[in-house]
Amino acid sequence: MKESDLREFTGIMDDLAEMLGGDMSPRKYELYFAALFDLDIADLRKAGNYIANTATFFPKPIDFRNAINGNQDEAAIIAWEKVQKGKSKAGQYQSVKFDDPVIHTVIKLMGGWGAVCRLEGHDDEKWQRIEFEKTYKAIQGSNKDHPEYLPGIADVENEARGLEYKKPIIIITSQPEKKALPPIERKELPKVGNVLSRKEIEERMKELDFETRKVIETALGESQEEESLKKIGMCKEK
């Protein structure tokens, strides 16, 4: 924090004291401000909101630090998961752009995208993860300008040769990939040759008993009569 953050800091403390029953004094403001001076005011604001929603007692300085470190740990884990997703989706030769630009700075400090990808599946990858998360937490929330994207090996080599061609940049986010819908199975309509003609129907009806034949003949007669009436507009459709 800076001295100019003192007013906002006292406001955060007053809000927490009002909600959690704390008793603030000029000396207490001074002690808390000195104990937390190395932290960023934006992080303290977030920690204050978290404490207000979860705590039952007025916080000590260590409670602010635990809230901030807990949030940073979670963010670093999520960032590493994105890196793993980038490795499998793009690989070391493709350029990548993460939706979290802090990742770009961390990867650059670790030797670049190609260097980080080369350890995929290696025993040393676990140490790479420790280094990544430690570095991520150290620079998260800073005002540092981050690279727009991370060039892959192909783009790095092309630039070294003076070639202007660049491979498409792969965008990496935490959003799940959309799966393509399975193709619709198209079934063929029955061929006209498979439909029995009236003569064939009459031949097959001869093989039926008298009662069954009469029922079918009546049904066919009614159907034909209805179709004829429809053609001249004397029968309403059901």
Domain ranges of the chain: 3-59, 73-172
Helix (H, G, I), strand (E, B) or coil at 96: strand
Predicted local confidence at residue 238, as pLDDT: 46
Determine the Cα–Cα distance for residues 229 and 121; give it in Å rounded to an integer: 78
Contacts of 19 (CB under 8 A, 6+ apart): 52
228 vs 24, residue with greater confidence: 24
How do residues 112-170 score in pLDDT, each as one tens digit? Answer: 999 999 887 778 888 999 999 999 988 876 667 899 999 999 988 888 888 877 788 99
| Mean pLDDT within 195-218 | 71
Determine the Cα–Cα distance for residues 95 and 168; give it in Å rounded to an integer: 7
Predicted local confidence at residue 195, as pLDDT: 60
pTM: 0.51
pLDDT at 203 over 60: yes
